[in-house]
Amino acid sequence: MTTTRSEALFDYAQQYIPGGVNSPVRAFKSVGGTPRFIAGALGARIIDVDGKSYIDYVGSWGPMILGHQDTDVFIAMQKQLGIGLSYGAPTELEIEMAELLCNRVPGMEQVRMCNSGTEATMSAIRLARGFTGRDKLIKFEGCYHGHADALLVKAGSGALTFGVPTSPGVPADVARHTLTATYNDLASVAQLFNANRDGVACLIVEPVAGNMNCVPPAPGFLQGLRDLCTQHGAVLIFDEVMTGFRVGIRGASGLYDVTPDLTTLGKIIGGGMPVGAFGGRKDIMQKLSPAGPVYQAGTLSGNPLAMAAGLATLRKLDNVMLYAQLEASTTQLLDGLKAAAKDAGVAFTTTQVGSMFGLYFGEGPIRGLADVMKCDANRFKVFFHAMLDRGVYLAPSAFEAGFVGAKHGEAEITATINAAREAFALCKA
Ligand code: PLP
């Protein structure tokens, strides 16, 4: 397969951009080979600069749930393009977005827009600290909440992929306020609360962990976190940057019927534009500047183009049939992959929540980071490249969830399963 132009661009990029990419996992470092430079995308497919087309299960790491170049999103953005890109003053679009989010996300009474998931989680934590007057936060090993200092402690995603879950550059003085618990293990959380009485400002969790591959919450886990936070006066933050509008119209909190105090959002709510948001209980949100003393701001926050793209996306997602279809397509894909792996005699497990999925080379069950780490990363590498050669673009890391979108139809799912039959045969060798 020709990758001539991607190779040339990757060399060129490395002269000017550290590692040749603007976000680490894009560099293919953990799977090896040349990252594909993308020339364009349509529907369920992306096309690289060498002219090869791929069925895309990354979807820009989650946002492209409607598929690439959705007509309604395109039209909404075009309309906004004609009247200005950014004003740095309030617009009606921002109220429409805030109202829509508050009407959909459980417990969201007020919301503030920002520009990325990282900004959303970083700001939510500052707010929780300002609200409670406490410093400590609890997070889970293998969960990723963006790259703010306090959250790059035992983190997932690229940090895990590159083996530096706690980054150099995070001052020890900052890291000491971050306590880490074990995902799906309530006893580990209770122990931290008991050892830090009246000290924990908040607990932040991915309600479905999507940055150590895809680990669903065990029954009762999220409710248990809710109860512990209430008992200890800590703010419960659901980081729904990935799961918001992905696992259902009311996100993971709606799906599992557990209401947090604050929720962070990103990805889908921007329809492919840079965006983030955090919101929740009004008494907490009222502490935020200019209503209250906790400072947070952004030159481009609530950007009209991002609001237009996000609103067009969210309005289209207001459709239970679409979520049912996404879930059914994902189940069909995973059933096909499992059957293909079984026929090839390859140990293989999958996880699924709605249209979010995980692929593991090993036996289940997958309950947390320890199980994920036991899987065969080398087999994943072989599988990843075999699929890429056959026109299927999976996340270039064994620690990232995959996504099915509205444009993945019968043809794409069947083609993916057929490619996997050949790929699993190579994994066995
Ligand atoms: N939180 C979660 C759960 C995420 O998956 C991510 C990114 O993948 C982030 C936060 C950070 O978002 P961003 O990359 O937009 O800063």
Q: Quickly list DSSP for 339-401.
A: HHHHHHT---EEEEETTEEEEESS-S---SHHHHHTS-HHHHHHHHHHHHHTTEE--SSTTS-
Distance 2 CA to ligand 1 centre (A): 32
C-alpha 142/C-alpha 160 separation (Å) is 7
Which domains does the chain show, CATH number per domain?
A: 4-65+320-428 (3.90.1150.10), 71-316 (3.40.640.10)
Distance 421 CA to ligand 1 centre (A): 32
Is 118's C-beta closer than 6 angstroms to any atom of ligand 1?
A: yes
C-alpha 245/C-alpha 196 separation (Å) is 34
Per-residue pLDDT of 185-202, as tens digits, reads: 999 999 999 999 999 999
For the entire predicted model, the pTM comes to 0.97
Residues 6+ apart with CB under 8 A from 99: none
- State residue 155's pLDDT score: 80
Q: Is the ipTM of this complex over 0.85?
A: yes
Is 144's C-beta closer than 6 angstroms to any atom of ligand 1?
A: yes
* Atom of ligand 1 minimally distant from the CA of 117: 12
* Atom of ligand 1 minimally distant from the CA of 267: 15
C-alpha 68/C-alpha 59 separation (Å) is 8
Per-residue pLDDT of 227-281, as tens digits, reads: 999 999 999 999 999 999 999 999 999 999 999 999 999 999 999 999 999 999 9
Strands of the sheet containing 53-56, edge to edge, are 38-42, 45-48, 53-56, 392-393
User: Which tokens belong to 312?
Assistant: 């067009």
Distance 12 CA to ligand 1 centre (A): 28
Is 242's C-beta closer than 6 angstroms to any atom of ligand 1?
A: yes
Per-residue pLDDT of 62-115, as tens digits, reads: 999 999 999 999 999 999 999 999 999 999 999 999 999 999 999 999 999 999
